[in-house]
Amino acid sequence: MYAIVDIAGQQFKVEKDQYLYVNRLHDDEGANIEFDNVLLADDNGTVTLGTPQIEGAKVAAKVLSHLKGDKVIVFKKKRRKGYRKKNGHRQLYSKIQITDITI
């Protein structure tokens, strides 16, 4: 059984007991959360497609930790002008575990 769910503006294919890294959620570590924006669900070959969401379907998850991703270097340069700009960025993520999928 799997489902395609919209989490924090991105779509993920999720299964039970799967770990995901999603954009930072506002919930505390250890909190149980539910996502009700389920777009598609497959239950052993029976596919249910939402228009745009499946009514009553929920995906339950648990927030395990909050962390930062790898550093991304942004470097801008214009040749022969003496313009060089270096900037770094680390994206904030939340690690979640999918605990249950209900249709």
Q: What does each C-alpha distance from 21 to 16, 40, 62, 63 come to in angstroms?
A: 15, 20, 12, 10
**Domain count along the chain:** 1
Q: Give the full edge-to-edge strand order of the sheet including 10-15.
A: 10-15, 2-7, 38-43, 46-49
Above 90 in pLDDT, residue 82?
Answer: yes
Mean pLDDT over 29-42 rounds to: 95
Average pLDDT score over the chain: 95
Domain extent, residue 95, equals 2-102
Above 90 in pLDDT, residue 103?
Answer: no
Mean pLDDT over 64-87 rounds to: 97
Above 90 in pLDDT, residue 38?
Answer: yes
Which DSSP helix (H) or strand (E) runs through 69? strand 58-78
